[in-house]
Amino acid sequence: MGLGCVVWLTGLPGCGKTTIARLIETELRKRREKIEVLDGDEVRQELSPKLGFSAEERNLHNRRVIYLSKLLMRNGVNVVVSLISPYRVTRAYARSQLDRFIEVFVKASIEECIRRDPKGLYKRALAGEVKQCTGIDDPYEDPLNPEVVVDTEQETPQECAQKILDYMKSQGCV
């Protein structure tokens, strides 16, 4: 069993972060590895239910996820974070706080994410019902040097998950 690592999946809403995170979780549980998935929506609901989506509130939410990741990681748990985390500065802070940090850019075009729209977020944002929607009226800053890039328009979720698992193995995480 490897040392705990944090695999930080970042990308636009609807790009496939949660799907990939759950596939990694399933595979690592089969191997009896310690694994926790911190899904941004789930963590927000439990730890930050009153926070909105301003840059300051997003940063606070992200900092909470970073702290929770740090606690789990230092106890030998692999953590897969599925979080939009749209700002480079926030992800840089995560990297500075987490010794074994793997940034994964889950790449998909805004057009494809709008087409998928699993939660109806883009439909509501484009209708003016939702403000501060990442990719619509709030920016998403692509990672500059992620350890792994998966392209969910070109690769299946299983291929993306395997690519990440292979990288985790190369880093001694699993």
Please write the tens of the pLDDT for every residue from 8-64: 999 999 999 999 999 999 999 999 999 999 998 898 888 878 877 788 888 888 999
Alpha helix (H) ranges present in 14-171? 17-30, 40-47, 55-73, 88-97, 110-116, 121-126, 157-170
Is the Cβ–Cβ distance between 60 and 48 less than 8 Å? Answer: yes
pTM given for the model: 0.93
Instruction: Please tell me the distance from the alpha carbon of residue 149 to that of residue 1, in angstroms, as a whole number.
Output: 25
Q: Average pLDDT of 162-171?
A: 97
CATH architecture group of domain 6-107+141-170: 3-Layer(aba) Sandwich (3.40)
Q: Residue with structure tokens 């949660």? A: 18
Q: How far is CA 71 from the centre of its chain?
A: 17
Handedness of CA 79, 84, 87, 88 (dihedral sign): positive
Amino acid at 53: F
Instruction: Give one word for 13, left, alpha or beta, with left for phi > 0 and alpha for psi -120 to 50.
Output: beta
**Domain residue extents for the chain:** 6-107+141-170
Is the Cβ–Cβ distance between 82 and 9 less than 8 Å? Answer: yes
Q: Residue with structure tokens 């911190």? A: 38
pLDDT above 90 as % of the chain = 72
First to last CA, the chain: 6
> Which residues are catalytic, by number?
85
pLDDT attached to residue 1? 47
Number of neighbours of residue 47 by Cβ within 10 angstroms? 15
- pLDDT-derived band at 2 (thresholds 50, 70, 90) equals low
